[in-house]
Amino acid sequence: MSELKIAIQKSGRLSENSKTLLEECGIKFSNGISVLKTTARNFPVELLFLRDDDIPQYVEQQVADIGILGENMVYEKNKDVTIFEQLGFAQCRLSLAIPKEESYKGPEFFMNKKIATSYPKLLSDYLTGENIIAEIEEISGSVEIAPGIGLADAVCDIVSSGSTLLTNGLHEVETLLKSQAVIIASKKLDAGKREI
């Protein structure tokens, strides 16, 4: 049988738990800091170390058969993949937050406001569902700083403990999505590989 190709995050919040999970499945592999691809020593398994953002696309294109990443990224990228299993780690939520001195009565707060986010699709879906017209400012990191520097009126970002919002003078007002790490698979994954 051909190798099962598994994509995991190269370095970040998901990496250690993803590697531990594979090790617990008995998959033995060596992983140097600059290694992007490696073959397991004891199974017909190849591991690809990628940015989490790229994993849905690689799985859709069957460059990888399965991948481990956060549900938030799976839904944001909206590729043709199936969620196979929830893994319980990397629990977080995607939330809207506004400056703490602003009072909040409901989603109409966001009408004609500018919202900074790394999740433009999920935010846009939410705003459409609430009939809110707002400007989405897409930025790739340090989103919580945006209101403080005058870049946006609000943020839509991942929250875990809530301390980043707190230190940036923001308060959480809406949760768009709850997320945890999941295994995704290509919808075309062949039956033989599915059984592994």
Of 173, 176, 188, residue with least CA distance to 76 = 176
179 is a contact residue toward ligand PRT (CB under 6 A): yes
Work out which of 5, 6, 7, 9 binds ligand PRT, going by CB under 6 A.
9
* DSSP label of 133: -
* Minimum CB distance to ligand PRT smaller for 43 or for 120: 120
User: With 0-12 CB in 10 A as exposed, 13-18 as middle and 19+ as buried, what is 114?
Assistant: middle
53 is a contact residue toward Zn ion (CB under 5 A): yes
Instruction: Report how far apart, in Å, the C-alpha atoms of 77 and of each of 27, 58, 120 are.
Output: 28, 11, 10
Of 122, 106, 127, 185, residue with least CA distance to 158 = 122
157 is a contact residue toward ligand PRT (CB under 6 A): yes
Check if the beta carbon of residue 157 is closer than 8 Å to that of residue 120.
no
Work out which of 59, 73, 134, 173 binds ligand PRT, going by CB under 6 A.
73
Residues in contact with ligand PRT, counted by CB under 6 A, come to a total of: 21
Strand 92-99, strand 66-70: pairing = unpaired
Name the segment binding Zn ion (CB under 5 A); options: 38-46, 51-59, 79-87, 110-118: 51-59
Instruction: Report how far apart, in Å, the C-alpha atoms of 181 and of each of 15, 50, 85, 109 are.
Output: 11, 15, 9, 31
Q: Which of residues 63-122 bind Zn ion (CB under 5 A)?
A: none
Name the segment binding ligand PRT (CB under 6 A); options: 19-27, 37-45, 157-165, 184-192: 157-165
Name the segment binding Zn ion (CB under 5 A); options: 49-57, 59-67, 85-93, 95-103: 49-57
52 is a contact residue toward Zn ion (CB under 5 A): yes
Binding site for ligand PRT (CB under 6 A): 9, 12-14, 51-53, 70, 72-73, 90, 92, 157-164, 179
Binding site for Zn ion (CB under 5 A): 52-53
